[in-house]
Amino acid sequence: MVEPSEVQRGLEDVVALESRICFIDGREGRLIYQGYDIRDLAAKSTFEEVAYLLWYGRLPTRGQLTDLRSRLGELRRLPAPLTERIESMPLESPPMDVLRTGVSELALFEPDESRPGSGSIGGAQRLTAALPTIMGVFHRKRAGLPPLKDRPELSPAAYLLYALLDREPTELEAKAIDVALILHADHELNASTFAARVTASTLSDLYSSVTSAVGTLKGPLHGGANERVMELLDQIGTPELVETVVRDKLARHERIMGFGHRVYKVEDPRATILREWSRKVGEAKGNLRYYDLLRKVEEVVHREKGLYPNVDLYSGSIYSLLGIPHDLFTPIFAFSRVSGWTAHVLEEYQDLRLIRPTAKYVGPTDLVYVPIDARPAGPVDGPPPG
């Protein structure tokens, strides 16, 4: 047995496993999926093609891509009792809670995928197709929109916009979302992917692994930074106030969302691409307000702290310009990352080893057990929950 060494808080820099799915070169600012640079994929491919790449480890032929597209279209529909359940959830529920519960309940209708250690590319496709439907059913109910149709002819990006906004996206809008989906599809052992792999490593199933991942992505330190970026822009209001607001925040040691990264020491390559899309969508909408504000925020944060933007800086501006409510930003992240989560779970099954790190114990070991009636009065416990 290896002697426990120093604690690596947050498992920072700990190499936990070997993977062929995703490589991040934090010094050069490169992100690679299965050998392909994200910049090429964002410029030349589609989300479906990237999902295929993550699952199969190679790019599809035209025929394989056509088959995948029609499969994803067919797999969108939820079992009727699940649709009814989602429609009856409290309308004020946080969307990520609905998504987590929806994934977990969908498993009850997919018994083959829910057995211990089971999971297939078919299950990965089912989840990737169904997540936007789960959210679409819920959001339409709370927003008073008409019920969702399957629309199998729509690409995942166009379906997502139709499901959430009940309108036909323009080509540019669908492409902007498609690029965002490509860029969020995988990111090595980020917290939610790690959670999925930990769950799979116990020989649990694909749906349980994705349920763990959705719960992990819900945390604001992982998903949700783009929502906070938009709150900051609302708070700033006009370009003249950027300098003052940002400097005040930094002086109070507050974090500016959308900046900094655990792995990238230079600009996150996803931010570079999304910056361009924020400008393109802003120009198409005749509204460059967010883009102009963000450029100025970037300038101040870089000058004052030397920090670079991450993927979350510009994505929220694109989603907002398309009319997507802020609380759906993290679900959209999940619609994309589910392709990576499932690829990692399937890879975990290929080379399974229970993930079980160890803790450095810092408590006492030799306390003497005192019978309950002989114990001195302790502090008053807080009230019970609820």
261 is catalytic: yes
CB 256 within 8 Å of CB 301: yes
Q: Which of 307, 325, 352, 355 binds ligand COA (CB under 6 A)?
A: 307
Q: Is 260 helix (H, G, I), strand (E, B) or coil?
A: coil
User: Contact region for ligand COA (CB under 6 A) — 18-26, 135-143, 273-281, 310-318?
Assistant: 310-318
Q: Identify any residues that bridge with 33 across adjacent strands, giving them in sequence order.
A: 22, 36
Q: Which is nearer to ligand COA, 207 or 277 (CB)?
A: 277
Number of residues binding to ligand COA, judged by CB under 6 A = 14
- If binding is defined by CB under 6 A, does position 242 make contact with ligand COA? no
Q: Which is nearer to ligand COA, 282 or 309 (CB)?
A: 309
User: Contact region for ligand COA (CB under 6 A) — 24-32, 158-166, 260-268, 378-386?
Assistant: 260-268
| Separation between Cα atoms, residue 187 and residue 148, nearest integer Å | 31
Tokens coding 25:
């070169």
- Residue number of the CB closest to ligand COA reads 260
Selected catalytic residue, list 186, 261, 268, 344: 261
| Separation between Cα atoms, residue 107 and residue 109, nearest integer Å | 5
Phi, psi of 342 (to 5 degrees): -70, -40
Q: Which of 123, 258, 269, 316 binds ligand COA (CB under 6 A)?
A: 258
- If binding is defined by CB under 6 A, does position 99 make contact with ligand COA? no
| Separation between Cα atoms, residue 242 and residue 296, nearest integer Å | 7
**Minimal distance in Å, beta carbon 222 to ligand COA?**
7
327 is catalytic: no
Cα→Cα distances 220→96, 139, 335, 363, Å: 11, 21, 17, 30
| Separation between Cα atoms, residue 294 and residue 239, nearest integer Å | 9
Contact track, ligand COA, 206-225, x by CB under 6 A? -------------------x
**Minimal distance in Å, beta carbon 289 to ligand COA?**
21
- If binding is defined by CB under 6 A, does position 49 make contact with ligand COA? no
Selected catalytic residue, list 178, 205, 268, 312: 312
- If binding is defined by CB under 6 A, does position 259 make contact with ligand COA? yes
Query: Residues of 69-99 as b/e, b for ≥16 C-beta within 10 angstroms?
Result: bebbbebbbbeeebbeebeebeeeeebbebb
Contact track, ligand COA, 312-341, x by CB under 6 A? x-----------------------------
Residues across the chain:
386
**C-alpha torsion angle, residues 111, 195, 28, 13 (rounded to 10):** -150
Q: Which of 69, 100, 197, 261 binds ligand COA (CB under 6 A)?
A: 261
- If binding is defined by CB under 6 A, does position 247 make contact with ligand COA? no
User: Contact region for ligand COA (CB under 6 A) — 74-82, 86-94, 282-290, 302-310?
Assistant: 302-310
**Minimal distance in Å, beta carbon 320 to ligand COA?**
17
- If binding is defined by CB under 6 A, does position 233 make contact with ligand COA? no
> Which sign does the torsion angle of CA 84, 132, 70, 117 carry?
negative
CB 192 within 8 Å of CB 216: yes
**Minimal distance in Å, beta carbon 218 to ligand COA?**
14
To which residue do tokens 């052992």 refer?
189
**C-alpha torsion angle, residues 106, 111, 117, 122 (rounded to 10):** -70
Report the interface residues with ligand COA, using CB under 6 A.
225, 255-262, 305, 307, 310-312
Residues belonging to the active site: 261, 312
